[in-house]
Structure 1
Amino acid sequence: MTAAVTVPGRSYDDIAVGEVLPELPIPLTRTLIVATAIATRDFQDVHHDPESARERGSKDVFMNILTSNGLAGRFVTDWAGPRATVRRVTIRLGAPNYPGDTMTMTGEVVSKDNGLVEVKVQGANSLGNHLAGSVTVAYLASEGKEA
């Protein structure tokens, strides 16, 4: 006898266009900014050396785009659950993310079709919008195959 396997979290049927995701505040620590730049192999000095960043016109080190991209995807997949896989992340950067600030992620489901869910995302800090764009996730079908 085979036991049924259940996957926790949201299902595709649970989601509605217009649904608003819960806000996610992300504290922007110096460690987060530096460590994620290194983890993404972005060794540009403006992401880890405050003096070099100031020499280039910035007030401090700032977050790199790969980290911003990853945080946008994380925001949506944390909400969507383990049945969802990222298909596309499209963002534009605005105000820099500096240490000591907080970026608050917000989102809204803008489309749902054939197993795909597109979420409009925004990440704002005290200077304004850091990122804006969308994240598309695909949901696994009940048979364990992607929709």
Structure 2
Amino acid sequence: MSGTQITIEQVSLGDTLPELEIPLTRTVIVAGALATRDYEDVHHDPAQAERRGTPDTYMSINHTNGLVGRYVTDWAGPAARMVRLSTRLGVPNFPGDVMRLTGEVVGVEEDTVRVAVRGMNSKGGHAISEVTVRLPRGSEQ
């Protein structure tokens, strides 16, 4: 991600965001659950997760949403404001895997951009998201 500010005039339908790879360590998964105050045991207790039918702990949807939002706002820049995020989960993110985020601009309106985001891991699609961000105009910088 560039860290520079993108203006609404610089964005076109079909633009793609650079891919972001996130290593999924146990620490990342547990820290995300704690940071989002999701204390459900399947997000931090491997034995309990196994008793509940999964091979290990897995990432919470709140954590996924945070990473998706960060992905888009890192691309868009510090003046971008996220106004909407929706996510549909697929396969879980387990420790030891990597989540790859990709994005494409699917809508450009007066001052907002809609970005379709996909999160994939080795088991398939983890998340399908759409994020709407408000961007400044070139004259507002």
Alpha-carbon distance in structure 2 between the residues aligned to 1:9 and 1:139: 9
Partner residue, 1:125:
121
User: SS where residue 118 of structure 1 aligns?
Assistant: strand
2: CA distance, partners of 1:38 / 1:76 = 22
Q: Is structure 2 residue 1 aligned with structure 1 residue 12?
A: no
1:107 and 2:121 are equivalent in the alignment: no
In structure 1, how many angstroms separate the alpha carbons of the residues matched to 2:12 and 2:119? 22
Q: In the alignment, what sits opposite 1:86?
A: 82
Is contact 2:24-2:93 (8 Å) kept? yes
Q: 1:34 aligns with which of 13, 30, 44?
A: 30
Structure 1 residue 55 corresponds to structure 2 residue 51 = yes
Within 2, Cα distance between the matches of 1:45 and 1:19? 39
Is 1:139 aligned to residue 127 of structure 2? no
Unaligned runs of 5+ in 1: 1-7
Bigger radius of gyration among the two: 1
User: Segments of 4+ in structure 1 off by > 2 A?
Assistant: 140-144
Q: How many residues align?
A: 137
1:76, CA displacement in angstroms?
0.5
Deviation at 1:83, TM superposition (A): 2.0
Look up the match of 1:67: 63
Q: Which runs of 5+ in 2 are unaligned?
A: none
What residue number does 2:72 align with? 76
Contact 2:6 2:135 in 1 (8 A): no
CA distance in 2, matches of 1:138, 1:102: 29
CA RMSD of aligned residues (A): 1.1
Which of the pair has the greater relative contact order for Cα pairs under 8 Å at 6+ separation?
2
Partner SS, residue 43 of structure 1: coil
Partner-residue secondary structure (3-state), 2:23: strand
TM-score, normalization by structure 2: 0.94
Identical pairs, percent: 53
Q: Is the 8 A contact 2:15 2:104 kept in 1?
A: yes
Task: Compute the displacement of 1:9 (Å).
Answer: 1.8
TM (norm. structure 1) is 0.90
**CA distance in 1: counterparts of 2:110 and 2:24, whole angstroms:** 36
Residues 11 and 83, structure 1, Cα contact 8 Å, conserved in 2 = no
Q: Look up the SS of the partner of 1:107 in the other structure.
A: strand
